[in-house]
Amino acid sequence: MSATTAAFDTARPRWRATRGSHILLAISTLAVALIVALLLFPGVFAPYAPDTNDVQHTFSPPSSTHYLGTDQLGRDVFSRLVYGARYSVTTGLVATAIAVVAGSLAGLTAAAGSRLADALIMRLTDVWMAFPEVLLALLVIALIGTGSTQIAVAIGVAAVPYYGRLVRGQALAVTKAEYVEAAKILGVPAWRYVLRHVLPNVGGPVVVLASLGTGSAIAAAAGLSLLGLGPLPPTPEWGVMLAEGQTYLANAWWIAVFPGLAIVVVVLVSTTLGRSLQARSLR
Amino acid sequence: MYASLPRFLLRRLLTGILVLWGAVTVTFFAVSAAGDQVDAILGPQAANLPGLRERVAAEYGLDRPLPVQYLDRLASLATGDFGRSYQRSQPVTRLLGSQILPTLQLALSAALVGLLLALIATVITAGRGRIVRTGTSVFEVLAVAVPPFWLGILLLSLFSFNLRWFPAFGSHGISGLVLPTLALAIPLAGVLAQVMRQELELVEGRPFVLSARARGQSRLGLLLRHTLRHALLPATTMSAWVLGTLVGGAVLVEKVFSRPGLGTVLVNAVQHRDTPVVSAVVILAALIFVVANALADMLYPVIDARLRETSRA
């Protein structure tokens, strides 16, 4: 999460949209559509079931019958990756959704609330950001237990302050705009002009950050599963597959290498989408 | 801002202490809100034995009112006492003490190598043609997208199992440190190089660069003497975040390389809900963050002459 956040923070307005960014936006949108299709209809893409053992063909290297090879039980790695997207990608999406909702609430409260509320929330985000995200996520898991849902909550909680900061900053800028001043003078209650005017204007940057953040949330979720804190084998979750495959790295590299490659592809798609959206909004 | 350096440093020290206090407070109340700690200590089987709960609660001081526990926690942390592990029933400091060095060693060497790689990439590609720059930015985006734990698996597969250049397991001196360091350093270098090149390209449009070139300063001389300092500033600002991320990433990389360190202890503690151990690691990480930020503040005047001038006045 942080890697992309840092890149986001330092992006400068002089970075203009070019023709390249339109092409990248089109490609990444297509890729997102493809990932959504994988999530909804894995059976269409996967040639085998994710949990069919085939003791005749264990450890087969990648070939035309098994595109990405088979694992120690003869299960098709490609099919497992396709079905596993349901676990890995969904966990990252849920984590980001949690961070967006909680961060927006905190940021809007800080921007529209009293000076004291603002100071309290901002100091709390300072403290929050002093914890490295992986460690904070580990603390949350120690408190609420292991599992897919718990991992999503943990990663979401760790990312909240980045969204809170962004939303507060954007909201403060919007609140100074004349139409909001006008609404205030007309006696429109705070919750109402926040919902009507501030929130829609804050949305753009949040979508960009969420798009950048989803990729790293997916990578973080796979990392926590790799540590054995997520779903258990034989779930085809990508981090679990990595952990299982690592045992056989000496003679069957493909079992561990391809789940990681899947993570990299998803992170690249999410980063490219976020950046081309960002380039568009800065135009 | 730098009108008086001692006062500025004092203020930063106070902010640092406040952040640490906040970190301790947040973890304390998060832990106590998450449920009865006696359950975490005893586990599901032993929880119903008569009298045991009371004895354990008394042993760990969990039978006292929450505010008293909190104040006691603050007081003992001030003396460096992080409490006792639920699972191993020994002081957390002793449990972590032997494990923290390998992790710090890994994180620091990754920070150095990452910065070095980023510097090399920046120096080589700055001011070059479009193809070189597009090529490096593609490489940087790739480097950032690769999770260190998977990069570790790739390096293991290639250099340990196929080429047999480096050991696959454990920490055998320097040779055991090379691959885990690279696994952490390459993604970091991607982030740093992006930020540094952006800053460098921004600075290269400034008038002083043109006047230095007009004086006959060579491209390399200009880079080393003037512009690279500017590029280092955002990297310095990020240093606390970098160290924190490296310690977090080290936990995963240690697992991949079966290295000793905080990773093994921490994951074991998370699985057994051993909250004193996990809170201690989180608080230590916050301490590293605060210290690194303070060091960065002291480094700014060394890198940036403008800040030096004002602090002397």
What is the nearest CA distance from B50 to chain A, expressed in angstroms?
25
| DSSP collapsed to 3 states, chain A | CHHHHHHHHCCCCCCCCCHHHHHHHHHHHHHHHHHHHHHHCHHHHCCCCCCCCCHHHCCCCCCCCCCCCECCCCCEHHHHHHHHHHHHHHHHHHHHHHHHHHHHHHHHHHHHCCHHHHHHHHHHHHHHHHCCHHHHHHHHHHHHCCCHHHHHHHHHHHHHHHHHHHHHHHHHHHHCCHHHHHHHHCCCCHHHHHHHHHHHHHHHHHHHHHHHHHHHHHHHHHHHHHCCCCCCCCCCCHHHHHHHHHCCCCCCCHHHHHHHHHHHHHHHHHHHHHHHHHHHHHC
Distances (CA, A) of A250 to A68, A256, A276, B111, B182: 17, 11, 40, 29, 20
Decide if A249 contacts B156 (C-beta within 8 A): yes
Decide if A245 contacts A94 (C-beta within 8 A): no
Q: Identify the burial level of A191 via C-beta atoms within 10 angstroms of its C-beta, where 0-12 means exposed, 13-18 middle and 19 or more buried.
A: exposed
A111 forms beta bridges with none
B-chain residues near A223 (CB < 8 A): 147, 149, 252
- The per-residue pLDDT for B294 is 85
What is the nearest CA distance from B127 to chain A, expressed in angstroms?
17
B34, closest residue in chain A (CA to CA): A143
Burial A254-264 (b: 16+ CB within 10 A, else e): bbbbbbbbbbb
- The per-residue pLDDT for A14 is 43
Interface residue of B14, B85, B149 to substitute, partner A, most A CBs within 10 Å = B149
pLDDT in tens, A250-272: 888 888 899 999 999 999 999 99
B163 — contact with chain A (CB < 8 Å)?
no
- The per-residue pLDDT for A138 is 93
B203 — contact with chain A (CB < 8 Å)?
no
- The per-residue pLDDT for B79 is 85
Tell which wins on pLDDT, B126 or A73.
Answer: A73
Nearest by CB: A127 against B19, B31, B150: B19
- The per-residue pLDDT for A17 is 46
pLDDT in tens, B227-257: 888 888 888 888 888 888 898 899 999 988 8
Residue A10's pLDDT band (cuts 50, 70, 90): very low
CA–CA separation, A74 and A54 (whole Å): 4
B-chain residues near A10 (CB < 8 A): 195, 198-199, 234
- The per-residue pLDDT for A15 is 44
Token pair in block for residue B220: 């390399």
Residue by residue, pLDDT tens for chain B (313 residues) are: 445 667 777 888 888 888 899 989 988 888 888 777 777 777 766 666 777 777 778 878 788 888 888 888 888 888 888 888 887 778 888 888 888 889 999 999 999 999 999 998 888 887 677 888 788 888 888 888 899 999 999 998 888 877 777 776 655 667 778 899 999 999 999 999 988 888 888 888 888 888 888 888 887 788 888 888 888 888 888 888 888 889 889 999 998 888 888 888 899 889 888 888 998 999 888 898 888 888 888 888 888 777 765 544 3
Mean pLDDT across the stretch A82-89? 92
Mean pLDDT across the stretch A21-29? 86
CA–CA separation, B138 and B144 (whole Å): 10
A76 forms beta bridges with A70
- The per-residue pLDDT for A5 is 43
A-chain residues near B31 (CB < 8 A): 143
Report the 10 Å Cβ neighbour count for B120.
12
Q: Do A256 and B153 touch (CB under 8 A)?
A: yes
B285 — contact with chain A (CB < 8 Å)?
yes
- The per-residue pLDDT for A148 is 92
Is pLDDT above 70 for A196? yes
Q: Do A143 and B251 touch (CB under 8 A)?
A: no
* pTM for this predicted structure: 0.86
CA–CA separation, B200 and B115 (whole Å): 15
Is pLDDT above 70 for A7? no
Q: Do A257 and B157 touch (CB under 8 A)?
A: yes
CA–CA separation, B173 and B177 (whole Å): 7
Selection from A42, A45, A96, A71 nearest residue A210 by Cα: A96
Dihedrals phi, psi of A76, to nearest 5 degrees:
-75, 120
CA–CA separation, A215 and A269 (whole Å): 8
Is pLDDT above 60 for A203? yes
DSSP state of B101: H
Token pair in block for residue B238: 């990020």
Mean pLDDT across the stretch A181-206? 84
Dihedrals phi, psi of A223, to nearest 5 degrees:
-60, -45
Q: Do A12 and B202 touch (CB under 8 A)?
A: yes
CA–CA separation, A282 and B179 (whole Å): 40
CA–CA separation, A71 and B168 (whole Å): 21
Decide if A110 contacts A172 (C-beta within 8 A): no
Q: Do B251 and A135 touch (CB under 8 A)?
A: yes
Selection from A153, A278, A277, A171 nearest residue A217 by Cα: A153
B240, closest residue in chain A (CA to CA): A130
Token pair in block for residue A163: 């969204």
Dihedrals phi, psi of A70, to nearest 5 degrees:
-125, 160
Q: Identify the burial level of B264 via C-beta atoms within 10 angstroms of its C-beta, where 0-12 means exposed, 13-18 middle and 19 or more buried.
A: middle
Selection from A103, A92, A99 nearest residue A152 by Cα: A92
Q: Do A242 and B150 touch (CB under 8 A)?
A: yes
pLDDT in tens, B142-168: 888 899 999 999 998 888 877 777 776
Distances (CA, A) of B157 to A17, A152, B181, B217: 40, 30, 15, 47
- The per-residue pLDDT for A23 is 86
Residue A18's pLDDT band (cuts 50, 70, 90): low
- The per-residue pLDDT for A193 is 81
Which range, A62-66, A200-204, A238-242, B125-129, is most confident? A238-242
Nearest by CB: A132 against B34, B187, B248: B248
- Least confidently predicted of A62-66, A95-99, A194-198, B68-72: A194-198
